[in-house]
Amino acid sequence: MKARFRIGIELIDDPAWMGGTLYLRNLAISLARLPEPDRPELCLLGSSEAISRVLEESDNPAAFGKNLPERLSRLSRLFGRAPGSKQKVDVVYPGFGTPPNGALVLRWIPDFQHRYLPQLFSAEEIEQREQAIRSIAERHGTVVVSSNVAMRDFATFFPDYSSTIRVWHFRSLIDTTASTSRQAIAKFALPEKYLYLPNQFWAHKNHILVLRALARLRGLGFNIPLVCTGATSDRRNAEHFGQLQRFIADNGIADQVSILGLIERREQIEVLRHAAAIIQPSVFEGWSTVVEDARAAGKKIFLSDIPVHQEQTPPSATYFDPHNHEELARLLWDSWDRLPPGHDTRAETVARKNMEPLILQSAREFCGIAEGALDFQRSAAMRNS
């Protein structure tokens, strides 16, 4: 029987980047779900708060063994550095911090957004990202990307790369077995039926398109309530949220738009489960957490027609041009009255049945990537010894 390897998952708990926070949290919990013979030894690296969240949410916290909290400094969006770990692991992912001695670092590149939307970045930040990715591309190691779209981008932008590129599709973990509470619905005074947009208020998330579509429908006497959650600050565009607020006020739709800001994950899931439908208008994603959340909850989703969303192919998706608010307005006009309010028990049951094999498959694929990278490193060491 092949010896199990030990993998350290570097966690973050960053409200400014919930996509990355949930990505790593879901990875750790997914690995813990694997049957014991298939599961590597797991070690959580990060702050005590980040580790506690994983242990609380996991249905198998014992799989993580003893985890010593390590206070990480604030991490950069991509490849910031943090204090080295004293934990003994064979593989560490995704390489945010200084790795433990002797550990293989499995790197992650979330996306190439700075190449497609350079106007959202400073010249300094673009150069930092380019240097970080170039240094990874030049190494003879394994790098994980979140989509086939990103893999093609990697090969296009860094054609002379020496690294091995592997695609790993993460999945969301949402527990829909428990009865739905209405505490969050009451707390935020939400309407009985609403459209839900769970994105941070960053410019590329494209809230403005949805607001324009709602304003267009409002002019036709058609009122669709919208609920938004997510951090309201954009460090790259301090004026962005204020501009959205002014649009809402100027177009008379303030009474139908509820902006809740960043809320607890359990409350966010409750809001998700009670929504009539989800909308994801983003013009760029690495692999959308919103889409995976909708899949896990069995929700209808209106989805921007960008390549990575086409790759994700969630069920019950209706695609729209992310630059055409008139098209979105027509879709909502045609669909809204047919969408039932509240959570759908049957849809959640079907989603749970479909999600479990996807979650286990995703966890096994990640283990295969990590173990393959480790085997390659060991073979190379033997050849050079």
Which value, to the nearest 10 degrees, does the dihedral of the CA atoms of residues 63, 176, 48, 290 take? 110
For the domain that residue 332 is a member of, what is the CATH number?
3.40.50.2000
Asked which of 92-101, 297-306, 328-337 is least confident by mean pLDDT, the reply is: 92-101
User: Is residue 56 situated within a structural domain?
Assistant: yes
Residue 347 resides in a domain: no
Given a cut of 70, whether residue 208 has pLDDT beyond it is yes
For 65-69, what is the mean pLDDT?
59
Q: What is the mean pLDDT of residues 118-126?
A: 94
Q: Are residues 29 and 167 in the same domain?
A: yes
The predicted-structure confidence for 269-290, as pLDDT tens digits, reads as follows: 999 999 999 999 999 999 999 9
Domain housing 17: 6-172+355-384
Does residue 335 form part of some domain?
Answer: yes
Q: Which of 36-50, 84-98, 123-137, 245-259 has the lowest mean pLDDT?
A: 84-98
- Do 231 and 123 have their domain in common? no
The model's confidence at residue 87, banded by pLDDT at 50, 70 and 90, is: low
User: How far apart, in whole angstroms, are the C-alpha atoms of residue 182 and residue 245?
Assistant: 27
Instruction: Using alpha carbons only, give the angle 27, 200, 173 rounded to the nearest 5 degrees.
Output: 25
Q: Are 23 and 159 in a shared domain?
A: yes
Spell out the residues 6+ positions from residue 230 whose beta carbon is closer than 8 angstroms to its own: 18, 198, 199, 200, 201, 205, 261, 262
Closest CA to 374 of 103, 13, 75, 188: 103
pLDDT tier at 354, thresholds 50, 70, 90: very high
pLDDT at 70 (0 to 100): 47
Tokens for 343? 């959570």
As given in the structure block, the two tokens for residue 116 are 């497609």
How many residues does the structure list for the chain?
385
Is 321 among the domain residues? Answer: yes
Question: 335 and 361 share a domain?
Answer: no
CATH at residue 163: 3.40.50
**Based on the domain organization, do 208 and 315 belong to the same domain?**
yes
In our burial notation (b when 16+ CB lie closer than 10 A, e otherwise), range 73-96 reads eebebbbeebeebebebbbbbbbb
Q: Are 35 and 360 in contact (CB under 8 A)?
A: no
Tokens of 229: 């959650």
Tell me, yes or no, whether 366 and 328 share the same domain. no
Computed from CA positions of residues 297, 298, 299, 305, in that sequence, does the dihedral angle turn out positive or negative?
positive
Q: Average pLDDT of 31-36? A: 95
Q: Is 305 a residue whose pLDDT tops 50?
A: yes
Do both 336 and 365 map to the same domain? Answer: no
Q: What are phi and psi of 369, to 5 degrees?
A: -65, -45
Question: What is the model's pTM?
Answer: 0.91
* Same-domain pairing of 157 and 237: no
The secondary structure element, H or E, covering residue 258 is: strand 257-261
361 with 312, same domain? no
In this predicted model, which residue has the larger pLDDT, 108 or 67? 108
Looking at residue 101, its pLDDT comes to: 75
pLDDT band at 34 (very low <50, low <70, confident <90, very high): very high
* Residues 6+ positions from 133 with CB-CB distance below 8 Å: 78, 109, 112, 157, 158
Within-domain flag for 178: no
What average pLDDT score do residues 129-141 get?
Answer: 93
Mean pLDDT of the chain: 90
- Specify the pLDDT at position 40: 94
Q: Does residue 1 sit within a domain?
A: no
81 pLDDT higher than 80: no
**Is 103 found in the same domain as 197?**
no
Question: At residue 345, does pLDDT exceed 70?
Answer: yes
Q: In terms of domains, do 41 and 64 share one?
A: yes
Q: Is residue 17 part of a domain?
A: yes
Same domain, 22 and 138: yes
| Predicted local confidence at residue 77, as pLDDT | 36
% of residues, the chain, pLDDT over 90: 79
